[in-house]
């Protein structure tokens, strides 16, 4: 769960974006039934505006945010605003804080179809290359052998431990090997799988029971060595582990289910708030 500001969160496992906002003038001992209808409508409108800002500030990859992408497509931008305008609303009620409203939407399905650029070459089979990679001759990545003793049968997913690297969550991150080539990313999965499930899930917990929901009970565990890109959206892993990741995610249920989790640090609320504010202004977009 990534906090955004003081009352917004993004749950990267499910793709849920949530804003919980207080109703102006409400007190902790006031009955929900006595709240002004105008105050409630105003609170919901403000919450949905914040929800839209949060969605627009989500990073697609290391190059652009959703806002930057939609700036060139007014029709898609209007459809996104319409989805947010009709986002799920709840409260005030017995399960909500006194005088609060909750609005939410998911970065999946119809919304994902609109905010994932069609220019992304999903399932192309052609891994991207790090711009810093050396120009040496290399064997074809798709035919790279597995490490000795590194059989991939039975692995139910992949977990990349990127804690301590300052990773920025994104819709389309890439896991690179130190050989300079992508080991997992858009090039190995279908657009439909990403739209429905998200390319990866992010987690601050390494509890196997928590991770099993996404990667099953026998995931391949690898260690992230560094973050890549100015926004630190991509992860670099060891070359031999990258070969294993390519083999595990090459086809079948792991690729179809996007069964990959990236472990990240527990977010710093202050830093996240600042990053969200900067992204909302469009700073740093390519």
Same domain, 104 and 178: no
Would you say residue 112 lies in a domain?
Answer: yes
Same domain, 67 and 13: yes
Q: Tell me: pLDDT of 92 over 80.
A: no
**Can you give the pTM of this predicted structure?**
0.82
Residue 280, token pair as written in the block: 């909302």
Same domain, 104 and 197: no
The whole-number average pLDDT for the span 18-43 is: 72
Would you say residue 247 lies in a domain?
Answer: yes
Number of domains in the chain: 2
CA distance 239 to 100: 50
With left for phi above 0 and alpha for psi between -120 and 50, is residue 58 left, alpha or beta? Answer: beta
The whole-number average pLDDT for the span 72-93 is: 92
Residue after which a domain boundary falls, among 116, 132, 156:
116
Same domain, 174 and 214: yes
Same domain, 146 and 252: yes
Q: How do residues 179-223 score in pLDDT, each as one tens digit?
A: 999 999 999 999 999 999 999 999 999 999 999 999 999 999 999
pLDDT at 165: 97
Same domain, 106 and 151: no
Same domain, 147 and 40: no
Same domain, 147 and 250: yes
CA distance 100 to 149: 56
Would you say residue 187 lies in a domain?
Answer: yes
DSSP for 127-194, written as a single string:
--B-TT--------GGGPPPPTT---TT---EEEE-TTS-PPP-SS--EEETTSBEEESGGGS-HHHH
Would you say residue 41 lies in a domain?
Answer: yes
Same domain, 185 and 243: yes
Rounded percentage of the chain residues whose pLDDT exceeds 70: 79
Same domain, 147 and 85: no
pLDDT at 39: 84
CA distance 90 to 268: 27
Would you say residue 151 lies in a domain?
Answer: yes
Instruction: Give me the half-sphere count of Cα atoms (radius 13 Å) on the Cβ side of residue 277.
Output: 8
CA distance 200 to 169: 9
Same domain, 251 and 147: yes
Would you say residue 271 lies in a domain?
Answer: no
Segment holding 84, helix H or strand E: helix 74-85
Would you say residue 279 lies in a domain?
Answer: no
pLDDT at 120: 95
Same domain, 151 and 92: no
pLDDT at 58: 97
Would you say residue 96 lies in a domain?
Answer: yes
The whole-number average pLDDT for the span 149-168 is: 85
Name the residue range of residue 21's domain: 2-116
Q: Tell me: pLDDT of 24 over 80.
A: no
């Amino acid at each position: 769960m990534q906090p955004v500001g003081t009352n917004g969160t993004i749950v990267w496992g499910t793709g849920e974006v949530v804003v919980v906002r207080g109703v102006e003038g409400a007190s902790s001992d006031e009955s929900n039934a006595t709240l002004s209808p105008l105050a409630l409508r105003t609170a919901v409108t403000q919450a949905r505006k914040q929800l839209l800002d949060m969605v627009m500030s989500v990073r697609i990859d290391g190059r652009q945010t959703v806002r930057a992408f939609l700036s060139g497509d007014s029709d898609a931008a209007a459809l996104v605003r319409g989805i947010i305008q009709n986002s799920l609303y709840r409260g005030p009620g017995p399960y909500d804080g006194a005088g609060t409203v909750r609005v939410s939407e998911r970065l999946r399905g119809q919304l994902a179809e609109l905010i994932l650029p069609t220019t992304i070459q999903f399932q192309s089979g052609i891994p991207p290359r790090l711009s810093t990679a050396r120009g040496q001759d290399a064997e074809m990545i798709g035919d790279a052998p597995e490490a000795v003793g590194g059989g991939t049968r039975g692995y139910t997913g992949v977990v990349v431990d990127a804690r301590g690297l300052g990773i920025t969550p994104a819709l389309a991150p890439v896991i690179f090997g130190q050989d300079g080539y992508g080991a997992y990313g858009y090039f190995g999965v279908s657009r439909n799988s990403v739209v429905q499930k998200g390319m990866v899930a992010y987690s601050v917990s390494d509890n196997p029971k928590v991770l099993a929901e996404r990667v099953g009970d026998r995931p391949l565990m690898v260690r992230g060595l560094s973050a890549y890109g100015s926004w630190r959206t991509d992860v670099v892993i060891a070359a031999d582990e990258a070969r294993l990741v390519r083999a595990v995610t090459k086809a079948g249920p792991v690729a179809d289910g996007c069964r990959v989790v990236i472990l990240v640090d527990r977010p710093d609320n202050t830093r996240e708030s600042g990053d969200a504010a900067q992204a909302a202004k469009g700073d740093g977009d390519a």
